[in-house]
Amino acid sequence: MTCIIGLVEKGHVYMGGDSIAVSDWDMERLRPQKVFQVGDYLIGCAGSARMTQLLQFELEMPPQDNKLSDYAYMVTVFTEKVRTLFRDKGYSEVKDQRESGGPFLVGYRGQLYSVQGDFSVLQLRDTFTALGCGSSYAMGAMSALRDAPPKKRIRKALKAAAHFSIGVVGPFYVLSLSRKKEGA
């Protein structure tokens, strides 16, 4: 249960998330953030706290080969490193010979990607997306608030999601990451 929102505007990726963990009818307010930066990546996780911990503290990525587009790098190198990490740390689930992880958003080089539970990578046409039980409320609010500044827009959308979804609770955190210049 959660709400993670990602937004791309003018070469920046913005991401915000809530602070709750829910199991059945019980909830715990979390201190660690579900949105964090790891090197050149801004990551926001919906789902397992273990997945979030592995991505935040164990993920190590090689530099991108300039022969690959950013999208190709995300689909091949990035997801394969994540799959290997999840498998090595006992997080991946294998059922009917299919491996699965969990959903999360990634901001990388001024673009927003949605990594699905089957490790597919979606590059979106819209400038924003959301994950978690509050995602439909957040998406509606993000659409309605198109003229608001990015961080304020995300905070208001998270508040809207919290108003309508019992699985979304503050405090809310919003981080941003600028597109890294080539060769910098």
- Read off the pLDDT of each residue in 18-24 and give the average, rounded to a whole number: 85
- The verdict on whether omega for the bond into residue 63 sits within 30 degrees of 0, i.e. cis, is no
Cα–Cα dist 3/74, whole Å: 23
Q: How confident is the model at residue 179 (pLDDT cuts 50, 70, 90)?
A: confident
Q: Is the pLDDT of residue 108 over 50?
A: yes
Backbone region of residue 52 per phi and psi (left: phi > 0; alpha: psi in -120 to 50; beta: other values): alpha
Q: How confident is the model at residue 182 (pLDDT cuts 50, 70, 90)?
A: low
Mean pLDDT confidence for 82-110: 89
Q: Is 67 exposed, middle or buried (0-12, 13-18, 19+ CB in 10 A)?
A: exposed
Provide the token pair at 161: 């999601």
Q: For 46-57, how does the pLDDT look when each residue is reduced to its tens digit (9 = 90+)?
A: 988 899 999 999
Please report which confidence band the pLDDT of residue 184 belongs to, taking 50, 70 and 90 as the band edges.
very low
Least confident of 9-18, 93-102, 116-125, 128-137: 93-102
Give the C-alpha separation, 119 to 38, whole Å.
Answer: 19
Q: Is the pTM of this model over 0.95?
A: no
